[in-house]
Structure 1
Amino acid sequence: MKLTNSRGKRSRMSLALVSLLVAGTAVFSNSPASAQTSSKGWTKLFDGKTLNGWKRVAGEASYEVKDGTIVGTAVMNTPNTFLITEKEYGDFVLELDVMLESDQSNSGVQTRSHYDPSGNNGKCRVYGRQVEFDPSARAWSGGIYDEARRGWLYPLTLNPKAQQAFKVGEYNRVRIESIGNETKTWINGVPTAYVVDTLDDKGFIGLQVHSVSSAEQAGKKVYFKDIRIKTKDLKPTPFPAGVYVVNNVPNTLTDYETQHGWKLLFDGKSTKGWKGAYKTAFPEKGWQVQDGMLTVLPAGGGESTNGGDIVTTDKYSAFDLSFDFKLTPGANSGVKYFVTLSEHNPGSAIGLEYQVLDDKLHPDAKMGRDGNRTLASLYDLITADKQERFLRPIGEWNKGRVVVYPDNKVEHYLNGVKVLEYTRGAEEYRALVANSKYKDWENFGEAPEGHILLQDHGNKVSFRSIKLKEL
């Protein structure tokens, strides 16, 4: 039937088409990747035609507008290049579509960021939190990186279920909520990262083309379109249960963490919940609570010769344990788990140990086998597979994490990156124990439950933000 046969027929057909379009729009709006498609309260940051309101800084990669899209092109031997807003933003919800044409590319969106005009030999240096787009095999897209400052805050090893959300060679819908101290991200509707941070209450938004150093990477393109922001009447979108939160506010829990079972093992003010190993009370000397830190005081480097180890009053079986620690030069300590206190041995109490150590200055790092006494290792059993670039310097806070699943699988993390895993009681595990200093302890590390322990090794080491969720 032709639409022009008669006025009546065209009107009826037009109404039918409109009805179909409306129905189709309703279906699209209910899809997870297109949440909140209403234009109410949203402002376009990109007009689809020009780069008005934006400026390029820090590098020589190019940005141009083609077919309603901002196209960034990588250039060899130039620093990371950013297209940043001329306006700064505090609280906001940002949505945009992003496409990387190749797994050789890398990009990101800066949030509440800044730049130093004198950095990079006068070309300026951009710094601040960045939502990463990483199409490599590592697959950390949607994670949060602190550009030119602290490094990774939320690598996607913390949320492996979200690692496959980003698709190379097609547009991905990205949502970023920066409300108060909380930043949350979504990729194609998948909840991805959750960071609580006190730095930067406002700053610019920036699009990144990453630096490249090979001809294969040069010329690779990144595409941005449909960029919009909302800054008023903001309501945080809830995350589902099971997403790990990187909380950089010391000794606190978010409402989300509390709701989903996390509790503080150290309140930042007292020794409540702790006692000396093999003691009925907290040690009278050797430990200090001050400025929100639980600190073991120096005593010449001897093992448990001052205040001695401290343990939680409660015992735990399957759990997710996180803690911040700060080493002094040459210091040694540890966080032990499944400590039963049944051995009544001299020195430090027996248990599986997340090693806390200055690898460069303490001699224990060169003992054991193949580095299995270094930082974040399962002490004397399994070496932590870690890269120097993910470590914070001695004197700064690092984040440790131990996850023990109900099936006895165990994981160690350092600053959000998984560095080892094993299974308690497995044949491989028992073979390692048989060739270690623990070989004489029957069923070492296989107790159904035990205390958490902080070690006194005679060096000054501080702890804070010790939190645990039972699994």
Structure 2
Amino acid sequence: MMKNLGYTLMFSATLAFSCGGSSEQTVETIEIESEENEWVDLFDGQSFDGWKKYGGGDVGKAWKIQDETIFLDAANKENWEAGDAGDIVTVEEFENFHFQLEWKIAENGNSGIIFLVHESEEYSYPWMTGLEMQILDNDGHPDAKIVTHRAGDLYDLIESSEETVKPLGEWNLAEIIVNQGELELHLNGVMVVSTSLWTAEWEEMVAGSKFKDMPGFSKYKKGKIALQDHGDEVWFRNIRIKQL
């Protein structure tokens, strides 16, 4: 569960002044408000506590924990059995939040972070409801030839304002901020996407995308966060969230 540590500290400062045998005291009350919310880890580095397979069940065996990272072992996909892989999602849903993780992708790899996901039997995949921050090897994957399909993009909707992805094999810091209908995507400390959700302009943009025939896409203002199995090796670490 998210923790709310909002509280106010109050203290008084008493200053004494002396003049001609008399004294005067001035008392000042100062209020200090703490940060209302704190960062909460969504991955403890040791277990899949708080995570599940999208659609039900435990995280599949293709997902592994390695050196305190979540790792999709796609190099051994020929040994996968039914149910071993698939997208994974948080057990908890989130509404207004600041989410962070670090990712790196294998050569020619493709994956994504999908958020505001509504898990239901009605929807077979997280991307049928949730929005995606793209993860990609821009230099090797053919999807990189498509504007809005490159690393850091709001997938198939908005391209990054600039390319800040690091060279293949290096860790990238991704941040997703959703707050009262405003969305920001940050990659490696740079805000690369900023937009307003659920406006007439937003609906028009969705209608011009590959999601136009998905009635549940981007309709939910609260949802889960998914890590995508796109069949390629990908690593995630330092996964945390703060409610806003």
Identify the TM-score tier after normalising by the shorter chain.
Answer: 0.7 to 0.9
Pairwise CA distance, 1:443 = 5.1
What amino acid does structure 1 have at the position aligned with 2:111? S
Matched ranges for 1:169-180 at <5 A = none
Does structure 1 residue 316 correspond to structure 2 residue 94? yes
User: Which runs of no fewer than 5 residues in structure 2 stay unpaired?
Assistant: 1-31
Alpha-carbon distance change, 281 to 306 in structure 1, aligned in 2, over 3 angstroms? closer
Does structure 1 residue 379 correspond to structure 2 residue 155? yes
Correspondent of 1:270 among 39, 47, 62:
47
Match of 2:185 in 1: 412
For the residue of structure 1 that corresponds to 2:240, the secondary structure is strand
- Superposition misfits of 4+ residues, deviation over 4 angstroms: 239-242, 345-349
* Residues 37 and 243, structure 2, Cα contact 8 Å, conserved in 1: no
Pairwise CA distance, 1:348 = 5.4
Alpha-carbon distance change, 363 to 444 in structure 1, aligned in 2, over 3 angstroms? same
Identity percentage of aligned residues: 36
Match of 2:85 in 1: 307
Match of 2:4 in 1: none
Matched ranges for 1:212-361 at <5 A = 260-283=37-60, 285-298=61-74, 299=77, 307-342=85-120, 344-346=122-124, 349-350=127-128, 351-361=130-140
* Residues 114 and 126, structure 2, Cα contact 8 Å, conserved in 1: no
Residues in 2 aligned to 1:457 and 1:313: alpha-carbon distance in whole angstroms: 21
Root mean square deviation of aligned Cα: 2.2
Residues in 1 aligned to 2:89 and 2:70: alpha-carbon distance in whole angstroms: 13
Residues in 1 aligned to 2:83 and 2:196: alpha-carbon distance in whole angstroms: 33
What amino acid does structure 1 have at the position aligned with 2:71? T
Pairwise CA distance, 1:442 = 2.1
Residues in 1 aligned to 2:151 and 2:94: alpha-carbon distance in whole angstroms: 23
User: Which protein, 1 or 2, shows the higher relative CO under an 8 Å CA cutoff with sep ≥ 6?
Assistant: 2
* Residues 309 and 349, structure 1, Cα contact 8 Å, conserved in 2: no
Pairwise CA distance, 1:393 = 1.2
Residues in 2 aligned to 1:312 and 1:426: alpha-carbon distance in whole angstroms: 27
TM-score (norm 1): 0.42
Residues in 2 aligned to 1:468 and 1:334: alpha-carbon distance in whole angstroms: 17
Residues in 2 aligned to 1:446 and 1:261: alpha-carbon distance in whole angstroms: 28
* Residues 305 and 458, structure 1, Cα contact 8 Å, conserved in 2: no
Per-residue displacement from partner, 1:86-141 (whole Å, max 9, x unpaired)? xxxxxxxxxxxxxxxxxxxxxxxxxxxxxxxxxxxxxxxxxxxxxxxxxxxxxxxx
For the residue of structure 2 that corresponds to 1:372, the secondary structure is coil
Matched ranges for 1:1-400 at <5 A = 260-283=37-60, 285-298=61-74, 299=77, 307-342=85-120, 344-346=122-124, 349-350=127-128, 351-367=130-146, 371-387=147-163, 390-400=164-174
Pairwise CA distance, 1:462 = 0.2
Per-residue displacement from partner, 1:217-271 (whole Å, max 9, x unpaired)? xxxxxxxxxxxxxxxxxxxxxx9866xxxxxxxxxxxxxxxx8421000011110
User: Which runs of no fewer than 5 residues in structure 1 stay unpaired?
Assistant: 1-238, 243-258
Residues in 1 aligned to 2:149 and 2:42: alpha-carbon distance in whole angstroms: 26
Residues in 1 aligned to 2:34 and 2:107: alpha-carbon distance in whole angstroms: 39
Residues in 1 aligned to 2:134 and 2:33: alpha-carbon distance in whole angstroms: 32
For the residue of structure 1 that corresponds to 2:46, the secondary structure is coil
Per-residue displacement from partner, 1:407-461 (whole Å, max 9, x unpaired)? 2100000001000111110122111100111111225213121100000000000
TM-score (norm 2): 0.79
Per-residue displacement from partner, 1:297-344 (whole Å, max 9, x unpaired)? 2138xxx98510000000001100000001111110000001102364
* Residues 413 and 420, structure 1, Cα contact 8 Å, conserved in 2: yes
What amino acid does structure 2 have at the position aligned with 1:337? F
Residues in 2 aligned to 1:334 and 1:312: alpha-carbon distance in whole angstroms: 14
Residues in 1 aligned to 2:148 and 2:104: alpha-carbon distance in whole angstroms: 20
Residues in 2 aligned to 1:309 and 1:384: alpha-carbon distance in whole angstroms: 24
Alpha-carbon distance change, 241 to 328 in structure 1, aligned in 2, over 3 angstroms? farther
Residues in 2 aligned to 1:391 and 1:353: alpha-carbon distance in whole angstroms: 16
Alpha-carbon distance change, 422 to 366 in structure 1, aligned in 2, over 3 angstroms? same
Residues in 2 aligned to 1:380 and 1:327: alpha-carbon distance in whole angstroms: 19
